Amino acid sequence: MPCASQTIKWLDTEKPCLTYGLRACNYYSVEVAGPGADLHSGMFGGVAQEPTTDLVKVLSSLVGTDGKIQIPGIMEQVVAVTRGEEDLYAGISFTMEALYESLGSKTAIFDDEKKTLMGRWRYPSLSFHGVEGAFSGPGAKTVIPAKVIGKFSIRTVPDMDIDETNTCVFKHVEEQFSKLKSKNTLKVYAQHTGKWWVASPKQSSFTAAAKAIERAVSIPVAVTFEEATGKNALLLPMGTSTDGAHSINEKLDMRNHVEGTKLLGTYLHCVAAELQPWRYL
């Protein structure tokens, strides 16, 4: 079975974890264009319909400050929480203080562990990533952009469908723009999409990995591995919650590098014992 070490991090800085599911990423662009060229706000402010104004109005309709996605048809696709799943959260080693350390602040949406973990793992989220074409440097530039492109992504979960999600996004964005009755033009499209992944943690490979962690001590490609091999995938995180994944100064502690090497070797030994236990009697 495929085993991958990936950039998903531990929940804290001390206790390793096993990953048996990943949210996918659908990345979208919303383009609003109007004037034939950038304009001076001193001459054209209050005269021309500004693309940035329209874009901000549309983007603000996508998600609330509470993190809830406001696009109809998105949350309806999400598989319902079962009692068995809810019970799993009670035994997870995680504290809000560990989250605050990772955030570098106390700006979490929720104040309790269970809601926080469910928001991170089993519910979709929508995040804004920037506006292309708008002024973003230091200083006080007074130009009105002729075209701006807002960028956002949705992290998808079971049982969300890529095509259905795209349809919901496109329809909502176009409807919100239509309400503005703007003379500017709109384009909305998906830059890339992916499929969420979930495996059974009861597979022998996970049992072996758990034993390896006890003895030795951390991605969309998981779906590709499963489809190519016909086997269940396992993700083995090596980093901690404070590594700053995909951010500036991302790191991997030397301790995790060394212990992770030991862990991989121990895992291979344990998975062999799970598959052919008679050889290790």
Please say which residue of 192, 215, 245 terminates a domain.
192
219 and 172 in one domain? no
58 and 10 in one domain? no
pLDDT (tens digit per residue) in 144-180:
999 999 999 999 999 999 999 999 999 999 999 999 9
Residue 3 has pLDDT above 50, yes or no: no
Are residues 126 and 157 in contact, defined by beta-carbon separation less than 8 angstroms?
A: no
91, part of any domain:
no
Tokens representing residue 187 in the block? 């384009």
pLDDT (tens digit per residue) in 27-55:
999 999 999 999 999 999 999 999 999 99
134 and 188 in one domain? yes
Residue 59 has a pLDDT of 99
Residue 217 has pLDDT above 50, yes or no: no
Classify burial at 97, counting beta carbons within 10 Å of its beta carbon; exposed 0-12, middle 13-18, buried 19 or more. exposed
176 and 142 in one domain? yes
Selected residue with higher pLDDT from 76 and 217: 76
Are residues 102 and 157 in contact, defined by beta-carbon separation less than 8 angstroms?
A: no
Please say which residue of 166, 192, 218 terminates a domain.
192
250 and 186 in one domain? no
107, part of any domain:
no
| Alpha-carbon gap, residue 32 to 51, rounded angstroms | 5
184 and 213 in one domain? no
Residue 92 has a pLDDT of 87
41 and 9 in one domain? no
* Total number of domains in the chain: 2
Give the CATH number of the domain where residue 245 resides.
Answer: 1.10.150
Looking at 12-16, 88-92, 169-173, 242-246, which range is the least confident one? 242-246
Those residues whose C-beta lies under 8 Å from the C-beta of residue 58, and which sit 6 or more positions away, are 30, 32, 150, 173, 176, 177, 180, 186
Residue 203 has a pLDDT of 74
239 and 182 in one domain? no
29 and 15 in one domain? no
Q: How confident is residue 196, by pLDDT bands cut at 50, 70 and 90? A: very high
Range of the domain at 237: 3-20+199-280
pLDDT (tens digit per residue) in 95-131:
999 899 889 999 999 999 999 999 999 999 999 999 9
Are residues 78 and 142 in contact, defined by beta-carbon separation less than 8 angstroms?
A: no
